[in-house]
Amino acid sequence: MKIFCFFLFSLILVFNKAYAQTDEEKVEEIVRTSHCIDNLSIDDVLKDKIRTMSQRDLGWHVFKEEEQYEVERAFLINKSMQLRFRWHVNADGSISPVGKRAESLCSQ
């Protein structure tokens, strides 16, 4: 009986972690996997950008204000200059670029 309870408890933990993704993680995933150019996602295009230039990746950040989300990816160019790419996640799951940098990223 103890083994069965342990097994059942372990299964519950595994499934709970798989489905316990926060809203912030979901909106970040929406932006990361969104189609950009040449069948590449936004994340893939940004990874190529960081590979070609000597920049430090500051990672993905999610900002929430009044039930609305914006997702940003930042790179450090030098000690004082950062490149920021930012998208607004709409209620229907679509994204809109915020600023010229994000707009130009996926335009050919």
Distance, CA of 52 to CA of 71 (rounded, Å): 23
Amino acid present at 16: N
pLDDT at 1: 59
Q: How far apart are the C-alpha atoms of 93 and 70, rounded to whole Å? A: 12
Q: How far is CA 16 from CA 13, 20, 58, 85, in A?
A: 5, 6, 29, 32
Helices 23-33 and 42-52: crossing angle in degrees, nearest 10, is 70
Q: Per-residue pLDDT tens for 39-54?
A: 899 999 998 877 766 7
pLDDT at 9: 52
Query: Model confidence over 71-87: pLDDT tens digits?
Result: 999 988 888 888 899 99
User: Per the structure block, which two tokens stand in for 87?
Assistant: 């998208």
40 close to 49: Cβ distance less than 8 angstroms: no
Q: What one-letter code names the amino acid at 61?
A: H
pLDDT at 97: 94
Please name which of 105, 3, 23, 99 lies closest in space to residue 64, comparing C-alpha atoms. 23
Q: What is the pLDDT of residues 54-69, one digit of tens each?
A: 778 889 999 998 888 9
Look up the pTM and report it: 0.75
Mean pLDDT of the chain: 81
Euclidean distance between CA atoms 39 and 29, whole angstroms:
17
